[in-house]
């Protein structure tokens, strides 16, 4: 089995031609502990994000970003839903899965968190991550007391909204008792 047909089989698609004139249009996403997933490069953004979440086991609230191995962000959140990544990366390119974590204040850019265990293997991406974290920390340190109070109030509101509603029986323990048979006398 050639690498082309192996990649097609791994993506759930079959290669009808297998010729060099019609190369498979996929790219590889690195995530976790040296795990890889293949995705169609011409896939629309909304479908691509859904497939990445499903394949990499991310929840719906995670804001996904992709970075090249060289540390260049693909700015996935800025793409329109009908656009694809085919203009930004090439076929068979390798990208790293990242998430964007909101900072304390909406006016400050989000933190970039690569979702790979071996970040030391990608020095450019590590440098980008550290520089973004430093900029965010500097901007958060410059927040006024009024802005910090507003942030705290918003966080408390979010926590109250995220608490699950409890029924009146949620705290009660249900105990089953075995009937005691009388001893034969």
The per-residue pLDDT for range 95-138, each reduced to its tens digit, is 999 998 887 777 778 888 899 988 888 888 888 888 888 888 88
The owner of tokens 């970003």 is 65
**Predicted confidence (pLDDT) at residue 10 exceeds the cutoff of 60:** no
Q: What is the pLDDT of residue 19?
A: 32
The owner of tokens 């970039």 is 112
**Predicted confidence (pLDDT) at residue 84 exceeds the cutoff of 60:** yes
- State how far Cα 4 lies from the chain centre: 27
Domain spanning 3-152, CATH architecture: Roll (3.10)
- CB burial of 62-81 (b: ≥16 within 10 Å; e: otherwise) equals bebbbbbeebebbebeebee
Q: Give the burial class of 184: count Cβ atoms within 10 A of its Cβ; 0-12 exposed, 13-18 middle, 19 or more buried.
A: exposed
**Predicted confidence (pLDDT) at residue 64 exceeds the cutoff of 50:** yes
pTM of the model: 0.64
Q: Give the burial class of 185: count Cβ atoms within 10 A of its Cβ; 0-12 exposed, 13-18 middle, 19 or more buried.
A: exposed
φ/ψ of 50, rounded to 5, equals -60, -45
Q: Closest by alpha carbon to 11, among 44, 33, 37, 35?
A: 37
Q: What is the pLDDT of residue 165?
A: 55
Residue count of the chain, please give it.
Answer: 185
Domain ranges in the chain are 3-152
3-state secondary structure of 35: strand
pLDDT band for position 182 (cuts 50, 70, 90): low
17 or 41, higher pLDDT:
41
Tokens of 160: 């109250």
């Amino acid at each position: 089995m050639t690498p082309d047909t192996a990649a097609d089989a791994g993506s759930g698609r079959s290669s009808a031609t297998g010729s060099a004139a019609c190369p498979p249009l996929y790219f590889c996403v690195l995530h976790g502990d040296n795990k890889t997933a293949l995705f169609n490069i011409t896939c629309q953004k909304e479908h691509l994000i859904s497939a990445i979440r499903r394949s990499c086991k991310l929840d719906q609230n995670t804001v996904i970003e992709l970075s090249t191995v060289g540390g260049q962000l693909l700015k996935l959140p800025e793409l329109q839903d009908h656009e694809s990544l085919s203009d930004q990366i090439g076929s068979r390119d390798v990208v790293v899965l990242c998430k964007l974590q909101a900072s304390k204040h909406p006016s400050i850019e989000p933190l970039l968190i690569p979702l790979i265990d071996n970040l030391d293997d990608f020095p450019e991406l590590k440098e980008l991550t550290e520089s973004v974290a430093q900029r965010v920390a500097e901007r958060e340190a410059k927040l006024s007391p009024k802005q910090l109070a507003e942030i705290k109030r918003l966080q408390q509101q979010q926590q109250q909204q995220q608490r699950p509603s409890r029924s009146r029986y949620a705290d009660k323990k249900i105990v089953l008792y075995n009937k005691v048979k009388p001893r034969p006398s």
